[in-house]
Amino acid sequence: MIVPAVFRWILASSLAWPLLLLHLTLLATLIHASGIAPTWMEYVQGPLSLTQWLAWNQRADGWNFVLLIVGTGLCARAAWLIERWKRHDIDWLRTRSVAPLRLHASVLLGLLCAALIWLGISAAVIETLPAPQAAFEARARVAADDAIWVDGHEPARVRIAAQGQGDALSLALIATRGAPQVRMLASWLDAPEHAVLEVATRGRLLVPLPAEGTRRVLDLRVEPEHAAALWSPMDSYVLERSEQSRLGAVRMLLHGWLLISMALCATLLCSLWMRAGIAIALVAALMLAVGTRLPLQDTLDFLRLGWLPRWPDPMLIAMTLTGCLLTPVIAGWSWVRVRRRR
């Protein structure tokens, strides 16, 4: 099916030493980064200590760097390669009876493997960052219709219709007005579990979930009396205790690989019909536009919060793999047309 020689060439050239050097330099800088100065707002975020938050944030930033460098590098490689081939630079291959389908399959496979190797190196390096144990894994979002206003005068009573089993609730609260330091309290109506947090602007309350069968009605309060806070159910999750923090790097690797795969497929197809620079710009714009809607965004947020990232959605994996299978077919078919139009 594939042309092993072309595949090996693309793979080797995509792992070239300048990219390796750049990549490792960035990672090294990241590991020794001392300039990550948290603002006082960040310091008070959630149940993490400052050290923990720094450690997790470093990991999330590390992945951001890696995805940016590896993704951009490989997409640029794909685009420039196709652009050169649209001129006569591919004659040495075409006179060897390499069918366009096999050619594009080899190129895409080479780039996908290069991405996997790069992300593997990154996962190994990021794992060496000092990291506390990931205590939780996000299981599901808390289902609620709207944000709830919690006034200092009277507690807000909320029925939590969380899907799935879990060990704790992470509630995102934003203090909107009142004292410099707002005390937020959450307690179950029918269970002794409760949580307290003091924040200046916003924070996360980590409330242990009561035993199964107990009514899940939560009382939310803020102190002092003239303070107020907003509870955002969209950013609130049911958490489950997890002891497998090392799995986080593997899950991040998979998320990153899926994203880069999608970008590579789009770049290869776009490059056939437009100049390399325009194709890269278009794919970058597309990725930015849909980036916040991709699961990777949530995954990075989870990492920042010290939670174990989730496995990628099977549907996303299936869609990406389908895209990877279809891209060489479409590219091979388009290639003939592009050559004729040239």
- Contact residues for other proteins, defined by CB under 8 A: 3-6, 8-9, 12-13, 16, 84, 87-98, 339-342
Q: Which is nearer to other proteins, 140 or 274 (CB)?
A: 274
Shortest separation between residue 342's beta carbon and other proteins, angstroms: 8
Nearer to other proteins, 141 or 275 (CB): 275
Q: Judging by DSSP bridges, how do beta strands 217-223 and 136-141 pair with one another?
A: unpaired
Distance of closest approach, residue 110 Cβ to other proteins, in angstroms:
12
In a 13 Å sphere around the CA of 40, the CA atoms on its Cβ side amount to 6
In this structure, are residues 115 and 264 in contact, taking their beta carbons and an 8 Å threshold? yes
Shortest Å, Cβ 265 to other proteins:
22
Q: Smaller CB distance to other proteins: residue 32 or 341?
A: 341
Considering the complex, what minimum distance in angstroms separates the CB of residue 322 from other proteins?
Answer: 29
**What is the C-alpha separation between 249 and 214, in angstroms, rounded?**
36
* Residue pair 28/126 in contact by the 8 Å Cβ criterion: no
Smallest distance from the beta carbon of 121 to other proteins, in angstroms? 20
Q: Exposure pattern of 74-107 as b/e (b: 16+ CB <10 Å)?
A: bbebbbebbbebbeeebeebeeeebebbbbbbbb
Tell me the chain's radius of gyration from C-alpha atoms.
24
> Cβ closer to other proteins: 50 or 99?
99
- Choice between 75 and 142, CB closer to other proteins: 75
Helix (H), strand (E) at residue 117 = helix 100-127
Looking at the Cβ atoms of 107 and 259, the one nearer to other proteins is: 107
Min separation Cβ 41 and other proteins, Å? 48
Would you state the torsion angle of the CA atoms of residues 18, 20, 22, 26, taken in this order, to the nearest 10 degrees? -170
How many whole angstroms separate alpha carbon 129 and alpha carbon 30? 9
